[in-house]
Amino acid sequence: MDYKAIEVKRQEGITWLMFNRPEKKNAMNPTLHREMHHALWELEDDADTRVLIITGKGDSFCAGEDLREYFYELKDKPVESERIRKISYEWRGKMLRLFSKPTIACVNGWCFGGGFAVVGNCDLAIVAEEAKLGLSEINFGNFPGGLVPRAIIDVMRWREVMYYSLTGDAFDGKRAAEIGLVNFAVPKVKLEEETLKLAAKLVEKDAIALKETKEVLRIGRHLNDEETWYWSQAKGHEMTYLQKGGWLDKGIKQFTDKQYRPGLETFKKD
């Protein structure tokens, strides 16, 4: 597929997926939704993608849904509107949350409305201190809908979920870190370097253990105590099978052979 609204860049096990409508502040129009859906589907099985970073080209991460193309122009086209809403729900929801490799949102600038679903549903997030973010829906007479409520409730502190949803006030990257929307904020000049540093740390880890970690935590958080226990037991057996016993035969063995200290570093895979 020849992408118009996004760009894919690969470097040493790390794949950058970039919103590429800088002239429209990377607002998500139907083309962008279709392309992100396609790209995630392809990258899921791409052996060269060990970590996925989502960011935006230009001065924006994502100005949310394209208010003209996604809402206004589709208001009298229910079939087309429903179709594109489903695609937008699929890629920013289940496909992103359960993507089989770790995902990082690299929030390089403006981020509004529907962009919060992308940030919230990535596993990790880093923001430029100078970025401006906001749950702006109330400012155009609406509310944070679709995937946004779940995503913000999952990661942000409750008082701030309510405050920013009701006021529509914009806030900066430092504040985004304080309220739990992202892991940390760095000066914009350091954003790419710090994001790559984090991604490189993940590339070193065992890929199967990363996938199992995501599934144990993401599914497990919605289960009760007993279900969580049995889910985690079953996933442990699955992981041992998929790794061919790697965590025991390498991870634990290398520790007992005094080759490394797991409290401080990762075992040697090969």
Sites of contact with ligand COA (CB under 6 A)? 24-25, 27, 63-68, 110, 112-114, 136
Nearer to ligand COA, 74 or 199 (CB): 74
**H or E segment at 128?**
strand 124-128
Find where tokens 């409750």 sit. 158
- Nearest distance, CB of residue 259 and ligand COA, angstroms: 51
Shortest CA distance to 116 belongs to which of 143, 87, 152, 82?
152
- Nearest distance, CB of residue 153 and ligand COA, angstroms: 17
Signed CA dihedral, 15, 19, 21, 22: sign only = negative
The DSSP secondary-structure symbol of 259 reads S
Shortest CA distance to 146 belongs to which of 225, 88, 223?
88
Nearer to ligand COA, 92 or 214 (CB): 92
Structure tokens at 111: 């981020």
Nearer to ligand COA, 62 or 122 (CB): 62
- Nearest distance, CB of residue 38 and ligand COA, angstroms: 21
- Nearest distance, CB of residue 42 and ligand COA, angstroms: 26
- Nearest distance, CB of residue 65 and ligand COA, angstroms: 4
Shortest CA distance to 17 belongs to which of 86, 118, 94?
118
**H or E segment at 25?**
none
Nearer to ligand COA, 109 or 246 (CB): 109
User: 3-class DSSP state for residue 67?
Assistant: helix
d(C-alpha 26, C-alpha 55), whole Å:
10
Nearer to ligand COA, 68 or 197 (CB): 68
Q: What does each C-alpha distance from 106 to 2, 18, 100, 128, 197 come to in angstroms?
A: 24, 10, 18, 8, 12
Nearer to ligand COA, 51 or 151 (CB): 151
- Nearest distance, CB of residue 168 and ligand COA, angstroms: 8
